[in-house]
Every structure is written in C-alpha cells, then in structure tokens.
Structure 1
C-alpha cells in the first residue's frame, strides 16, 4: 500500500505542475488549442489516478471482508457509487 500511496501522490503532484503550466500558458496568451491539449492531458491523468484510488478501494473491500453481510454489501455499494460518479 505504501508504494501505491506514493504513486498516487506523485501523479497528483505531476498534475498540479501541469495545471500551473496551463495557468502560465493562459497568462502568456498562448494558443487556445495548446491550452486545450494540456487540459485534456491533465484530465486524462486525473482519471487514471481516480482509477487507481478506486482500484485500491476495491482491493481493500475484497481482501478484508467483514463478517456482517449487510455491512459488506454496503461497502461494495460504496465502491460502485464511486465508479458511477466517475
């Protein structure tokens, strides 16, 4: 889990850097298509990071089931809700 956490944090820091770069592009009045290209790259990066976070949650629920079936079902539903909101 430590490596996964580090990977997720690195991805978020990279996205943060990309967003700062986009802010500078806007300040420098660069071409709209270039800005949109970079925004699309950030969105893709965030979506992949979201997938990692949700995947970790799924693994956590499956690897550590609870004895109470209703509680386990609630945890599974929580994961499904996270996916649907994506």
Structure 2
C-alpha cells in the first residue's frame, strides 16, 4: 500500500478487514455447526465482496496518488498507472 495513504483511509481499510475477518470466523463456525450449504455460500460471497471492495479502495487510492503526486520520470508514472489498471481489470 502506498506510504502516502492518510491514516484515516488506513483506519477505514483496517476496520473493513477486521469486519471481513469476523465474517470468516462466522463461516468457520457455520461449517463446524453443519449449517446449510446455501447459507455458507451466501456468507462466503459476502466475504469475497468485502475483499473485492478493499482491493478497489487500495487501487483507487494508489491511482489518486499517481495523479495528485506525479513522478518526475514520465515512464515510471505511466508504469504505475498501467499497473493499477491491470489490477482493476484482473478483478
């Protein structure tokens, strides 16, 4: 993650990851309790959505940083933007 990301953004991301961690623990408990497959899959889908959201936030912050604080080396700037775009497309 970019070192310039402000602390408020980092706290939001950490909070979201902790919530996701709780969801994963919930899924583990559901499996231990032999809950219905559909219920487990529904929760796993929510976990995946949460992680996708965190990834999107991080990539967006890095893109924002690229535009707000451009590199002196245009080639390096272009590479950073291309890398961010590839991460978005890869999703």
TM-score bracket, shorter-length normalisation: over 0.9
- 1:17 corresponds to which residue? 22
CA offsets per residue over residues 28-47 of structure 1, 9 Å max, x none? 00011110111111111111
Give unmatched runs, 5+ long, in structure 2.
Answer: 1-5
| Structure 1 residue 67 displacement after superposition | 1.6
Distance 1:71 1:47 in 2: 26
TM-score normalised by structure 2 residue count = 0.89
| Structure 1 residue 82 displacement after superposition | 1.4
2:13 aligned residue (8, 28, 33): 8
Give unmatched runs, 5+ long, in structure 1.
Answer: none
- 2:3 corresponds to which residue? none
Higher helix share: 1
Q: How many residues end up aligned between the 2 structures?
A: 86
Kindly report structure 1 stretches of 4+ aligned residues shifted beyond 3 Å. none
Q: Is 1:59 aligned to residue 74 of structure 2?
A: no
TM-score normalised by structure 1 residue count = 0.94
| Structure 1 residue 83 displacement after superposition | 1.1
- 2:37 corresponds to which residue? 32
| Structure 1 residue 59 displacement after superposition | 0.7
Considering Cα pairs closer than 8 Å and 6+ residues apart, tell me whether 1 or 2 has the greater RCO.
2
